[in-house]
Structure 1
Amino acid sequence: MPEFDLVIVGGGPGGYVAAIRAAQRGLHVALVEKERPGGVCLNWGCIPTKAMLRSAEVFETVKAAAAFGIDADNVRVDFAAVRQRKDGIVKELTDGVTGLLKANGVTVIEGHARFTGPTTVEVFEPGPSPVFAGGPRYAATPSATAIRTVTATDVVVATGSTPALLPIPGADLPGVITSDGAFGVTEVPARIVVVGGSAVGAEWASLFAAFGAAVTIVEMQDRLVPAEDKEIGGALGRSFTGRGITVLTGTTVTSIAQTGDALVVDVGGAATRGIEADLVLIGVGRRPNTADLDLDVAGIDTDARGFIPVDDHMRTAVEHVYAIGDVTGTALLAHVASHQGLTAADVIAGHDARIDYDVIPAATFTHPEIASVGLTEDAARAAGHEVVTAKFPFAALGRAKTLGDSEGFCKIVAGARHHEVLGMHIIGPSAGDLITEGALAITLEATLDELAETIHAHPTLGEIGMEAALTGLGLPVHTAPPRKR
């Protein structure tokens, strides 16, 4: 007789959410976690970076206080206090997750799980506490001391991912770090090279630039945040350049070397040169945490990259074994992991649930902020849609003007015939909050007409969706009418 109805391996935003939902459905649940609950998102990703980015935003605002009629002298960064605030927020939230698991009757087992069969895991004492270095945090192997064996009717693998290092000479040098290692930086570097211009790299570049570092960001594609709409990537590049960040696109890093007190990053592309830095942050790619799990013992296959294939019910090819979150390689986002966790828990509890990946919002918390959902203009055209695009600038929005933050725009991609919303792309203040309207519009198959006819509160940033829709319909109110041909 199994000890539990369900055992979940990994307590990140997928694992702990699945545990709570399964317990709510009446299942007897165990959660195995070797670190603090909350996974990468709460401990090393979403939350701590946003806490530090908020400090950077406040610093930049106070420096510009004169523009708001406020005198502020001798403004400086106390980086230790920034980190302390971040740690306090992380602890509060992880303690909150621990409390929620307890309140829902979930049995939490601290340790590292290894499969001894499809629905049986042996739990070992965790290895040494992770150190902040250039390499992955999970390099340490678990202790050889077994704590207990756990059996269950069903098992969910929710072990997440960790940053990958580039296979280039010098990537293992001291001073070369990943996004995890960035949390171990105790002072703002004078010079930093950020390798990778997608969300992770762009956020760290934005943060360190705000705190006064000389930042160079290197991206091999032709623009920053290459997964976003072209116009968004172009706008971010121009904004970063205007803030003094050196942006190198269409450029690759060929090697890193230690020369005296500096790291020298050799880059190739339009022009080959060496860039001196005190710190190099590699923000490119992630790899699944499947090592040391003994997945083969359970018969669980992985793809060539190490990710676990699943169907839209989150089932693996092994009966009674499910996988969720980053370890599936589907969309490496915390909110996707959480929805996958809810889906898996409901399926295991006997409900007909499945996940739909058609509407997944994403946000990048640079300054200016970026968010998107649905199809980019290029992707919509490639899919065979005839499209119209609608744009509205924050500079024409009253609320943005009052905030003193009016850089950027909202762009809507819609069908040319029925005006159905296919995608929304925002760069500007509170983009991550505003994108929900776009996600809801796509989910409900709303049109530009419906967005335009919905009364939005004034003065708010949220008006930008309505204003963009009006523009797309050729009926702009707060921007000049389109030119007649």
Structure 2
Amino acid sequence: MEQEYDVVVIGGGPGGYVAAIRAAQLGRSVALVEKERPGGVCLNWGCIPTKAMLRSAEVLETVRHAEEYGVKAPEALLDYPAVVARRDGIVRGLTDGIARLLDANGVTVLTGHARFLDAHTVAVHDTVPPPGDENGPGYAAPPADGPPRTTIKGRNIVIATGSRPVAPRIDGGDLPGVITSDGAFGLPEVPRRVVVVGGSAIGAEWAGLLHSFGAEVTVVEIMSTLVPAEDVEIARMLTRAFDKRGIRVLTGHTVTGIRSVLGGLSVDVEAVGGGEAGEVPADVVLFGIGRLPNTEELDLDRAGVAVDVRGYILVDDQLRTDVAHIHAIGDVTGRRQLAHVASHQGLVAAGVICGHEESIDYSVIPAATFTHPEVASVGLTEARAADEGHAVVAARFPFAALGRAHTYGATEGMAKVVADSRTGRVLGMHIIGPGASELIAAPALALTHDATLASVAATIHAHPTLGEATLEATMSALGLPVHTAPRRRRSHRP
């Protein structure tokens, strides 16, 4: 007889395992089907391993500049195998920890690939091990045919199968040495020359990381700045910072083809609009653009679950699909493809399944890009706020005017606040500089609770800290700067 559960979760990434644990905490019987290791892309091939390697790069850069801090150190040398070993050890420890959490909460974990048989029944198939070749860690796949190992029933089902990077569809995109961001984890050594295609968060992080490790890096980005989703001032500052570090940045350019040549690869680039064209030599070409949802092999049609033309599952603000008892969370929903969004969606979906009146608000989602300097933001950009009809006031505070930044040895960057001058409500905060990814949490809380410039300015911040930058930017927006000279505030009125 098929085992029946209150909740069946398909996918054990940052959305799936969180949803499973929360549903179990709320008293439901829960099964989680995961075809590989718990933690999903974020933990195994994304957020955590890249940050582990970025930390190694940060330590390397610090030692290289140790004399600036009055410390004499021997020559800093990179031990790339040791970096990889440390990274993999961290990932193993965290995946093991998630497995223990699932067990401690009474979640039944089934290893295999899930396919719908009907709207309540899921077949669990054995999977084919991933190849693990130079093109990346690979993903376990279901066999082409054959009966399932087992079937289970779910009164409610949560789909959390995530996404995968898009392979390039250009001439030469299948050549050896052309990889996706996942494939970068399989590099046996640091390449001498790398072309990174795409200057958004993933591409920018890999570009900075490989440059710190000694690679000659060129970034090709079709938009006019790196991280084009960020506030334009922040994006321009990061673009200048990359150029200053010696990372070649070709914004407003696209890759038209890749050719194999003696000694490596040649990447054909062209200015947007058919302008200037050229070639960039490379040993590795890393594509950091776009992802596709993992929905094709779920047999969603058997469950009656609708998808859009790209394969993303359609959901409402309570994460319900068009089949009331089936929810979808994370990258497969096509909303914000961020691990923390998937986790929050998992909490909401589990709560809704358990009878709570919950929904998700996408207006306050912090984002961080772990470049050097870091970039983080929450809420509206200055341009977006003006487009939405706000009477915008924007002000900024440079880290160069902050005592803690000087003691830290990192004065590059600024904090920028965007607010509505009529109501005083804070609409967005944008940071580029040391610790930006940590600093953004407080502004996110402020936006969640509709804080005003006055209420933020009235909040005492510890001194000396990097967090004072957001306070000072807020006071400047009020026309009351203390640690910078008065300047005309930028404002827009509808």
Shorter-chain TM range is over 0.9
1:261 shift after superposition: 2.1
Query: Aligned-residue CA RMSD in angstroms?
Result: 1.4
CA contact (8 A) 1:192 1:215 kept: yes
8 Å CA contact 2:380–2:428 kept in 1: the answer is yes
Matched, 1:198 2:203: no
Cα shift at 1:94: 0.6
Between the aligned partners of 2:488 and 2:372, the Cα distance in structure 1 is 32
Tell me the SS of whatever aligns to 1:284: coil
Corresponding pairs, count? 484
- What secondary structure does 1:137 align onto? coil
Corresponding position of 1:281: 286
Rounded to whole Å, the distance in 2 between the matches of 1:100 and 1:480 is 52
Equivalent residue for 1:5? 6
**1:59 aligns to 2:44 (yes or no):** no
- Give 2:492's aligned residue: none
Q: Are the aligned partners of 2:330 and 2:337 in contact in 1 as well (CA < 8 Å)?
A: yes
Moved more, 74-83 or 12-21: 74-83
Aligned mates of 2:474, 2:385 — CA distance in 1: 17
Q: Is the 8 A contact 1:138 1:162 kept in 2?
A: no
Report the alpha carbon displacement of residue 138 of structure 1 after superposing the two structures with TM.
3.7
Letter paired with 1:235: M
Q: Answer yes or no: is the 8 Å Cα contact 1:132–1:180 preserved in 2.
A: no
Q: Where does residue 152 of structure 2 map in the other structure?
A: 150
Structure 2 length as normaliser, TM-score? 0.96
Matched, 1:167 2:139: no
In structure 2, what is the equivalent of residue 49 of structure 1?
50
CA deviation vs aligned residue, 1:13-58 (integer Å, no higher than 9, x gap):
0000000000001000000001100001110111000010010011
1:179-218 matches, within 5 Å, as 179-218=181-220
Residue 329 (str. 1) matches residue 334 (str. 2): yes
Displacement of 1:165 in angstroms is 1.6
- What secondary structure sits across from 1:37 in the alignment? coil
Output the CA distance in 2 between the equivalents of 1:116 and 1:5.
17
Q: State the partner residue of 1:251.
A: 253
**Distance (whole Å) between structure 2 residues aligned to residue 49 and residue 285 of structure 1:** 17
Are 2:135 and 2:186, in contact at CA under 8 Å, matched by a contact in 1?
no
1:478 and 2:480 matched: no
Q: Distance in 2 between matches of 1:450 and 1:155?
A: 43
Provide the rounded CA distance (Å) in 2 between the counterparts of 1:275 and 1:460. Answer: 43
User: Are 1:37 and 2:42 counterparts?
Assistant: no
Q: Which stretch of structure 1 is more off in the superposition, 311-320 or 96-105?
A: 311-320
CA contact (8 A) 1:134 1:172 kept: no
In the alignment, what sits opposite 1:226? 228
Which secondary structure state, in structure 2, belongs to the residue aligned with residue 330 of structure 1? coil
Matches within 5 A, 1:11-26: 11-26=12-27
CA distance in 2, matches of 1:118, 1:137: 29
TM-score, normalising length from structure 1? 0.98
Tell me by how many angstroms 1:319 deviates.
2.7
1:340-369 CA-partner distances (Å, limit 9, x unpaired) = 100111111111111111100000000100
Q: Is the 8 A contact 1:112 1:142 kept in 2?
A: no
Contact 1:11–1:39 (Cα < 8 Å) also in 2: yes
- CA–CA separation in structure 1 for the residues paired with 2:46 and 2:369: 12
Taking the aligned partners of 1:138 and 1:285, their CA distance within structure 2 comes to 17
Deviations 1:135-161 (A, max 9, x none): 793484436452100111011110000
8 Å contact kept, 2:136–2:184: no
Residue of structure 1 equivalent to 2:102 = 101
- For 2:270, the equivalent position in structure 1 comes to 268
Please give the per-residue CA displacement for 1:274-302, whole angstroms capped at 9, x wherever unaligned: 11000000000000001211111111111
Runs of 4+ in structure 1 off by over 6 angstroms are: none
Aligned to 1:125: 126
Aligned to 2:352: 347
Distance (Å, rounded) in 2 between the aligned partners of 1:336 and 1:174: 34
The residue type paired with residue 453 of structure 1 is A
1:171 shift after superposition = 0.9
